[in-house]
Structure 1
Amino acid sequence: METIEEKGKAAAIVAYLTIIGTIIAYFMNNDTKNPFASFHIRQALGIHITYFLLGILVSWFDSWWVSSAFYVFIAVLWGCGLVMAIQGNRTEVPVLGPKFQQWFSTVN
C-alpha cells in the first residue's frame, strides 16, 4: 500500500522544475488534493515567485557580488526543496519556507 508521500511524490518533484512545472504539478494534484504534493507545490511556487521578484530588485544593482548571492540563495532554496520532495519529507525550505506555507495556504 502506497503512503501519502509516495502518491504525491511525482507532482512534488515536477513542481520544482520551472514555473511551468509548478503549474503542471498543480493540475496533476487538482483531483487528488494530496497534502504532500500540495505542500511542495506551495514551496516551489514561493521559490519561483521569490526568484522573479528578487531578480527584479537585484537587476538594479550592477554588482557581481549581489548577483552571485542572489543565485546562491535561490539555488539553496530550490535544491533543499527538490531534495526534500525526492526523499519524501515535508521540511520547509530555509528562511522563507514557513511564509510560503502561510501565503499560499489556499493552493491545494
Structure 2
Amino acid sequence: METTTDNGKTVAIIAYITLIGWIIALIMNNGNKTALGSFHVRQSLGIMCVGVILAIISGIIGIWILSTIVNLSLLVFWLLGLISAVQGEMKPVPVLGEQFQEWFKGI
C-alpha cells in the first residue's frame, strides 16, 4: 500500500507523461490530494498551455528557428519539472513556474 508521499510522487511523475498522463494524474490527485502531486499537476498544465500558445504564435509567424527555440525551451522545462517530480521536490520551472502555481491554484 502506498503512503501519501509515495502517491504524491507517483502523481507528480505521471503528470509529465503526455496529456493522457496529466489527466490520469489529475484524477489520481483529486482522489487523494497531496501538495507534491498538486504542485506538479499545475506545473505540467502550465508547460502544456504555454507550449500550445507558443506553437500557435510561432506557426503563425512561420519562422522555423523560433519554433525550434520554443520547442527546445519547452523540452528543457519539461525535463526540469520531471526531474523535480522524480526527486520528490517542489521546484518551479524557470520563468513562469511560480505563475503556474498562482494561475492554476484551484487544481
Match runs of 1:48-87 below 5 Å: 48-87=48-87
**Contiguous gaps of at least 5 residues in structure 1:** none
Q: Report the Cα distance in structure 2 between the residues aligned to 1:20 and 1:99, rounded to whole angstroms.
A: 23
From the superposition, tell whether residues 93 and 5 of structure 1 become closer, same or farther in structure 2 (CA, over 3 Å). farther
Distance 1:86 1:5 in 2: 12
Structure 2 residue 105 is the aligned partner of structure 1 residue 97: no
Aligned to 2:24: 24
Q: 2:61 aligns to what SS in structure 1?
A: coil
The aligned length equals 106
Give unmatched runs, 5+ long, in structure 2.
none
CA RMSD in angstroms, aligned pairs only: 1.4
One-letter code of the match for 2:19? I
TM-score between both structures, scaled by the size of structure 1: 0.91
Report the equivalent of 2:33: 33
| TM-score in terms of structure 2 length | 0.92
Separation in 2 of the partners of 1:99 and 1:3? 29
- Tell me the distance in 1 between the aligned counterparts of 2:90 and 2:3: 13
Counterpart residue identity of residue 64, structure 1: W
Letter in 2 for 1:44: S
CA shift at 1:3, angstroms? Answer: 6.8
1:4–1:36 contact (8 Å) kept in structure 2? no
